[in-house]
Amino acid sequence: MDDSAVSPWLLALGLVLVLEGLMPLLVPGGWREAVRQLAALRDGQLRFVGLMLVLAGLFLVVLA
C-alpha cells in the first residue's frame, strides 16, 4: 500500500488508542469498576454490548 492508503488507518488506530486511554488515565477507579461490571456479564449480554458498539461505530463512519 502507498502512504495515502495507510495514513487514514494509522490516524484511526491512533484515535482509538487515545480514546481508549482517556478513561483509565482520568478516572482509573471508574474504569476498573466498568471493566469489572463488563466481566460479570453473560456471553449473550456481552455480545449485545459489542453489537451496539459496532453499529454505533459504523453509524459514525457513515456520517463522516
Predicted pLDDT of residue 2 = 66
In angstroms, the first-to-last Cα distance of the chain is 23
**Of residues 5 and 16, which shows the higher confidence score?**
16
Supply the pTM of this predicted model.
0.73
For 42, the 3-state DSSP assignment is coil
For residue range 23-44, what is the model confidence (pLDDT) as tens digits? 999 999 999 999 999 999 999 9
Distance, CA of 42 to CA of 39 (rounded, Å): 8
The grid coordinates listed for 11 are 490516524
Share of the chain above pLDDT 70, in %: 95
Residue 4 pLDDT greater than 80, yes or no? no
* Interval 1-13 mean pLDDT: 80
Distance, CA of 26 to CA of 24 (rounded, Å): 6
- Tell me the H-state helices in 1-64: 3-26, 28-40, 43-63
